Structure 1
């Protein structure tokens, strides 16, 4: 999967990273804490600034010095709403897998233009993962929504944040 975009969940008031597969048939939202989102933004801004100079960031310099490269970025698991991620490095012909924060894994994916590997179980469990166009709402749900819209007082619209 690749990082498709960023959004703000207006209901949960949390930042969300949207992952999509190459065919855009599967979508996986990853909610981040405000701290992780802020660290991602700071890292991306810093990375953009350092790209304009000859200096590398510490991790890039360390990887180059060790003669290793990032081989794979993965979202491994999700338990109780907490996402676990890992980064695999190829070092001296051996794969080394490191557990990292989700935001760090996503920043590395962006910096190295790598796809994000997602455990298939997570896609199966995600309600948004399938891009099928089948009916998600029943006729009763549709009728309730139409009734809600018909009975909506325009004066109430200013009471709710958009």
Structure 2
């Protein structure tokens, strides 16, 4: 089962000094922060700029040209799992009357979602995995600490973090 989420904002985490993408569901009941390195963030920004520039001309980027040539279309973007703090993502491409799931980096998945105006489908089990703080013997975090952090993420306004222009 998957939860349909949208890219809510792209900002700079002032504490970690890292770019973060916020995914939220339609009800804004669930928030998933995706911290990334500056290289991946620049990749997304470069893709958006290239997409805007490409829309004004007849030239296409390599992926768009290949998709067009093979009469293929990106239909979905999925985040399947998280291992060692890294997300496993895939792009569903419709080609020859079949859906082909291609594994991609999280930055590529988010870029495709923005470029093709698609929601990000997140596996439901990830919500539990992401909200997990530590084992029961870990006394650094209390339930109140966890709730305050969740409230902070749910009420986070990207403008407060210095939103990048897109």
Query: Under a length normalisation based on structure 1, what TM-score does the superposition of the two structures give?
Result: 0.76
Aligned to 2:144: 137
Higher-Rg member (1/2)? 1
Q: Identify the match of residue 109 of structure 1 among 102, 106, 113.
A: 113
Q: Which structure exhibits the higher relative contact order, with contacts defined as CA atoms closer than 8 Å and separated by 6 or more residues?
A: 2
CA distance in 1 between partners of 2:38 and 2:90 (Å): 20
Would you say 1:63 and 2:70 are equivalent positions?
no
Q: Which runs of 5+ in 1 are unaligned?
A: 129-135, 142-162
Q: SS of the counterpart of 1:109?
A: helix
Aligned to 1:89: 93
Secondary structure in 2 matching 1:54:
coil
Report what 2:155 is aligned to: none
Aligned counterpart for 2:51 among listed residues 47, 72, 83: 47
Q: 1:25 aligns with which of 15, 29, 50?
A: 29
* Distance in 2 (alpha carbons) for counterparts of 1:79 and 1:34: 20
Aligned pairs, number: 132
- For 1:151, the equivalent position in structure 2 comes to none
Secondary structure (helix, strand or coil) at the match of 1:137 reads: helix
> What SS does structure 1 have at the residue aligned with 2:69?
helix
C-alpha distance in structure 1 between counterparts of 2:85 and 2:130, whole Å: 12
Partner of 1:34: 38
Q: CA RMSD in A?
A: 1.8
Q: Equivalents in 2 of 1:38, 1:18: separation in Å?
A: 16
Q: Give the Cα–Cα distance (whole angstroms) in 2 for the partners of residues 51 and 23 of structure 1.
A: 32
In structure 2, stretches of 5+ residues that fail to align are 133-142, 149-166
Aligned residue number for residue 163 of structure 2: none
Offset at residue 51 of structure 1 (A): 1.1
